[in-house]
Amino acid sequence: MSANNCRAVKVIDVKPLGHSSPDEEIIELKLEYPGWDSGWRVGQFVMIRPVSWPLDLIWGRPFSICNADDTTLTILFQVVGRGTKRLAKLTTGDNVNIWGPLGSFFSKPKDRPVLMLAGGMGIAPFCGYVDSHDQPENLKLFFAHRPPLENYPYNSISEKIEVEDIRERKPEDILNIIARIDELVKEYAEKKGLIVACGPTPFLRTVRCASIKYGVEAELSLENRMACGVGACLGCVTKDSTGHHTQVCTTGPIFKATDISLED
């Protein structure tokens, strides 16, 4: 990554979505577009560190690019720790340092059906996927989530493509989610489609197993913790299909399902 990919931008807006409880608050953060010379691709991520952060928060935080246009970069995040709590308190006009776009990206075939599988905050990159796809009629989203739908940008997607969701409220719902993923992956295998998925590791493990079971091409976006985002800290490694460690920030975050193991 070249030095000019680290830029200072201003906050345009910080907006909580829905009516979440404090332990599940989801924030839509809008920043000035960083003016990336070569643009960005769906599935890539950025590292963000507000200028005002003290030294006890040395590292930036990684976030999938939710969407972007010529003026605005949109990020979606859930408040889960010290860093995201402080990000949620940013106000219009605050300065943040941002470096990116980083990592690999999803395929976007024009002539094949694409099934998007999202778990929780894994819905973020699919906003941009839908908006930038030349044939949205070929897309479908299945969304598994815990907070209510209004806490996510679900409606912005449902207005444009076919969607389906299951909310996890009780243990039986997890079994329903697993069963529905299996059914959908089988359906898209028969269509010779593409599976693209983003979500927590147990969710991706389910997708990976189903895609291998039915022999369908699948791309998974991993949500490993990161500190630097550029391959220096070795904090985001995962195991590939041969058992060797690979860095998610530089060789991912998008991997073919057959190329990684997702072992416990």
The reply, when asked if residue 236 is annotated as ligand binding, is yes
Ramachandran region, residue 240 (left: φ > 0; alpha: ψ -120 to 50; beta: rest): beta
The reply, when asked if residue 77 is annotated as ligand binding, is yes
Q: How many CB atoms lie within 10 A of CB 95?
A: 13
The reply, when asked if residue 84 is annotated as ligand binding, is yes
Question: Which one-letter amino acid corresponds to residue 175?
Answer: L
The reply, when asked if residue 86 is annotated as ligand binding, is no
* Beta strands in 17-113, from DSSP E residues, in sequence order: 26-32, 45-50, 61-68, 72-78, 95-102
The reply, when asked if residue 66 is annotated as ligand binding, is no
Closest CA to 87 of 12, 14, 152: 14
In this structure, the dihedral spanned by the alpha carbons of residues 169, 171, 176 and 177, taken in order and rounded to 10 degrees, is 70
The reply, when asked if residue 233 is annotated as ligand binding, is yes
Measure the CA–CA gap between 239 and 217, rounded to whole angstroms. 19
The reply, when asked if residue 251 is annotated as ligand binding, is no
The reply, when asked if residue 62 is annotated as ligand binding, is yes
DSSP string for residues in 157-189: HHTTSEEEEEE--SHHHHHHHHHHHHHHHHHHH
Backbone angles phi, psi at 123, to 5 degrees: -75, -20
Helix axes 201-214, 171-190, angle to 10 degrees: 40
The reply, when asked if residue 63 is annotated as ligand binding, is yes
Which positions make up the binding site for FAD? 61-64, 76-78, 83-84
Which positions make up the binding site for [2Fe-2S] cluster? 228, 233, 236, 249
Which positions make up the binding site? 61-64, 76-78, 83-84, 228, 233, 236, 249
